[in-house]
Structure 1
Amino acid sequence: MTDDTQARIAEIVQKSPVVLFMKGTPLFPQCGFSSRAVAILNHLGAEFESVDVLQDQGVRQGIKQFSDWPTIPQLYVNGEFIGGSDIMMEMYESGELADVLKGQAAA
């Protein structure tokens, strides 16, 4: 795990208001958790960037250290780590995720 990878991840997270690190792409998620994360964001009408961690082993390992979170997918809004698909689902059901994403749109 290099500082270069951490810097690259930090740049991705800062560059886009909403970023989902996932396995696969929004059109072709490669795991159920990534698929659920995309479905939640799509249902909320969120515009988001995605990063396919399967295309880059450095990012795949590095994102886990970057967030201190062991699983993928990982959602970032305005540079802040929100969580994985379980947390996204809880926040979606409570309405909290919609509020976080609305705040992002206003930013």
Structure 2
Amino acid sequence: MSDTNQRIADIVGGNDVVLFMKGTPLFPQCGFSSRAVAILDHCGVAYDSVDVLQDMEIRQGIKSYSDWPTIPQLYVKGEFVGGSDIMMEMFEAGELQQMMDDKQVAKAS
């Protein structure tokens, strides 16, 4: 496993919910990342984020790690969920909140 893949695996495995995004939750740098943050905030869960714009190795590596070509990317309890479109569909259907509840994800404080 490459060094970058190991770093990504450590991040994904070390956080219940992690969003690989462009920018930060306070200052998202693209509309898709902004939408992903808004969805997670609405779900009321604690999550970590990784700003891929600050690390080109992670920015490229996350795409091969998940076999998903776009950012943002959401992981819940080590499982790849999808990008902002999938998050939106799941959120609107109530499936994202159900997943968070089923996996007993910590609430945001």
The TM-score, its normalising length taken from structure 1, stands at 0.95
Amino acid at match of 2:61: G
1:62 counterpart SS class: helix
Deviation for aligned residue 1:8 = 0.2
> What runs of 5+ residues in structure 1 fail to find an aligned partner?
none
User: C-alpha separation between the residues in 1 aligned to 2:62 and 2:45?
Assistant: 22
Amino acid at match of 1:72: I
CA contact (8 A) 2:22 2:52 kept: yes
User: C-alpha separation between the residues in 2 aligned to 1:29 and 1:93?
Assistant: 22
User: C-alpha separation between the residues in 2 aligned to 1:36 and 1:102?
Assistant: 21
Deviation for aligned residue 1:104 = 2.8
Residue matched to 2:8: 9
Deviation for aligned residue 1:102 = 1.1
**Structure-2 change in CA distance of 1:81 and 1:106 (3 Å):** closer
| Aligned CA-pair RMSD | 1.3
Q: Which runs of 4+ in 1 moved over 3 A?
A: none
1:105 counterpart SS class: coil
User: C-alpha separation between the residues in 1 aligned to 2:103 and 2:47?
Assistant: 11
The TM-score, its normalising length taken from structure 2, stands at 0.94
| More helix by percentage | 1
1:29 counterpart SS class: coil
Aligned length: 106
Residue matched to 2:64: 65
Amino acid at match of 2:104: A
TM alignment of 1:1-107, pairs within 5 A: 3-105=2-104
Amino acid at match of 1:53: V
**Structure-2 change in CA distance of 1:44 and 1:106 (3 Å):** closer
Identity in percent: 69
Deviation for aligned residue 1:106 = 5.7
